[in-house]
Copies of this chain bind each other. A is one copy, B any other.
């Protein structure tokens, strides 16, 4: 693995390294860790990278690594820069034969996303999009149950993502995370809807197996002086005329990272909360609520998709880093299978990809357009 971005002054890079590292299949071999050469070098040293593989630009990294012998060359490149700087390294990596892991949202614009997707299809390479929350085993369990029809026909989807960390104008108080995420030039057209709304939308589509078809958005800038939405709620229509509601806010003072989803079908409903991720609540119309729990020992209860993503027996809580690790693990196993000429299993292939990336960018564009429209329902256009 080579990393673009993620120097010592960044947040998500460290998370990616722990996640990639977790299951012993992936090693960080090189990096272009910062646009600041000082930081790039210092970060490389801190991460025990050899000096000659501590690059100053992604261009240099991709160019030099692509010339290395196959047994030394990295297999993929992870891109953890701010949104506006995803497309360049991702496209160049694909063009040079490297698989790619990229933070969400996949790109800065929908058009870039479509180009990447096209390139992925042309090259046959793998692109992995780190929609972390779909890496949790109980999310996969919910998806599997709905797919198998356990709840009957899906009827209603509620998803909410509440944070409070942008309750003040922190972007003016030296908070680097806040600064780029609320800056239209770095973040893109949307603020909260891009940063966390895309996670919520992806989760809803991933678990329900249904795609958004129409939407009606109310986007707000609550904190005066901010340049992008920090709060919003969206009425949704999904395929099969299923309705839903998505809320995403970063001004819910006192909330941490409160992502919840509830999906109801004819026979029952599921409820999952990211802050207690090892539990899946399954409510039934005509029998008692059941509490399903993550754990590698629940082979008689959990689907193969959930089980594959548990490392420990029930009662040994796994969390955010493990969910992140699952995405890397599945991606790495897919690459390994392909290297060995084998067909990856459908459990291995269960990580978000370019198609999810395009839908995420389309969500941003559509939700912003709807927010500005006087019309009630607008079509979800890609």
| A residues adjacent to B (C-beta < 8 A) | 14-15, 17-18, 21-24, 47-48, 151, 155-156, 158, 160, 163-165, 167-168, 216, 218, 220, 222, 231, 233, 235, 243, 245, 247, 249, 251-258, 262, 264-269, 274-278, 282-293, 295, 297, 300-301, 311-322, 373-377
User: Chain B residues near A267 (CB, 8 Å)?
Assistant: 253
As for how many copies of this chain the complex holds, the number is 4
**A258 nearest CB neighbor, chain B only:** B315
What are 10 contact pairs spanning A and B, CB under 8 A?
A158-B160, A164-B283, A252-B264, A255-B315, A256-B313, A256-B315, A278-B319, A286-B300, A287-B301, A312-B320
**A292 nearest CB neighbor, chain B only:** B288
**What's the Cα separation between A167 and B267 when bound, in Å?**
8
Residues A301 and B288 in contact in the complex (CB < 8 Å), given A220-B243, A256-B295, A376-B216: yes
In the assembled complex, the CB of A228 is this many whole angstroms from the nearest CB of chain B, namely 16
Instruction: Judge whether B24 and A22 touch: CB under 8 Å.
Output: no
In the assembled complex, the CB of A296 is this many whole angstroms from the nearest CB of chain B, namely 10
**What's the Cα separation between A207 and B339 when bound, in Å?**
50
**A297 nearest CB neighbor, chain B only:** B165
Interface centre among A22, A168, A274, A377 (most CB of B within 10 A): A22
In the assembled complex, the CB of A242 is this many whole angstroms from the nearest CB of chain B, namely 9
In the assembled complex, the CB of A115 is this many whole angstroms from the nearest CB of chain B, namely 32
**What's the Cα separation between A349 and B287 when bound, in Å?**
29
**A46 nearest CB neighbor, chain B only:** B24
7 closest A-B pairs by beta carbon, nearest first, are A254-B283, A256-B315, A257-B315, A317-B319, A316-B320, A253-B285, A256-B314
Which of B233, B256, B258, B285 contacts A235 (CB under 8 A)? B233
Which of B165, B251, B295, B311 contacts A155 (CB under 8 A)? B251
Instruction: Judge whether A257 and B314 touch: CB under 8 Å.
Output: yes
**What's the Cα separation between A242 and B251 when bound, in Å?**
12
Given contacts A216-B218, A288-B291, 14 further A-B contacts (CB under 8 A): A15-B311, A18-B24, A22-B22, A155-B251, A156-B252, A164-B283, A253-B268, A257-B315, A276-B276, A289-B293, A319-B319, A319-B322, A374-B377, A375-B375
**What's the Cα separation between A167 and B322 when bound, in Å?**
29
**A375 nearest CB neighbor, chain B only:** B376
User: Chain B residues near A312 (CB, 8 Å)?
Assistant: 15, 320-321
Instruction: Judge whether B48 and A275 touch: CB under 8 Å.
Output: no
In the assembled complex, the CB of A104 is this many whole angstroms from the nearest CB of chain B, namely 15
User: Chain B residues near A288 (CB, 8 Å)?
Assistant: 282, 290-293, 301
Which of B168, B231, B318 contacts A156 (CB under 8 A)? B231
**A302 nearest CB neighbor, chain B only:** B288
User: Chain B residues near A22 (CB, 8 Å)?
Assistant: 18, 21-22, 321
Residues A254 and B284 in contact in the complex (CB < 8 Å), given A243-B233, A249-B156, A290-B290: yes
